[in-house]
Amino acid sequence: MLPPILFVNLMRFEYKDQMKKKFDKVSYEEFIDLGDYITKDKKQFDITNEDNFANKINDDEENHKYELFGVVVHDGNAEGGHYYVYFKENKSRNWVKFNDSKTIYVSEFDVFEKNFGGQEKHISVYDNGDISTEYLGNSRTAYILIYLQKDKIEEILADVTEADVRFKFIYLKILN
């Protein structure tokens, strides 16, 4: 059984004598299907009845499809930097960037094309009309990807009700 919320850590930092950030280009998709990576071998299941095995596999058909809803970005290097997050609104499917106290709508281009690491093309135009092009390292790299199971999105992103809050408050009181 796959989790309803899948966190993918892109492992952008490594330690070899000292901490280093990996700036290699890493791309990611808006939709992923993990069906090819799930075993359908009944030996992997503790199911003795053939019919139960077939039902288990069919029930999980949609559970391996995910949609990207969040991207945590690190802008900087191994010595320091800044984190911010892109998150997709549930109803409109618009992307929003949460960066400290600044929250703005952004394009899919911002989410999918600007946070790969790798090299960025910078073009400078000078007063005399000369143009120069150089490639610089992109310090903005996706660090964590947050995928939601497609058939559970509405349930995961459902509005929090008063009953939900009250239940958690009662549960916490019991624990203390």
Distances (CA, A) of 64 to 6, 36, 67, 78, 152: 10, 9, 10, 34, 11
Task: Per residue of the chain (176 residues), give pLDDT as tens.
Answer: 789 999 998 887 778 888 777 777 778 899 999 988 876 655 555 555 555 544 444 455 668 999 999 999 988 877 788 999 999 998 899 999 999 889 999 999 999 888 776 666 778 888 998 988 876 667 788 889 999 999 999 999 888 787 776 655 555 566 65
3-state class (DSSP) for residue 81? strand
Phi and psi angles of residue 65, each rounded to the nearest 5 degrees, phi first? -100, 130
One-letter amino acid for residue 60 of the chain = D
Query: How many domains does one find in the chain?
Result: 1
φ/ψ (deg, to 5) at 158:
-65, 150
**Could you tell me the two tokens for 141?**
């790299």
pTM exceeding the 0.75 threshold for the entire prediction: no
Q: Which domain holds residue 94?
A: 5-175
Give the number of other Cβ atoms within 10 Å of residue 13's Cβ: 15
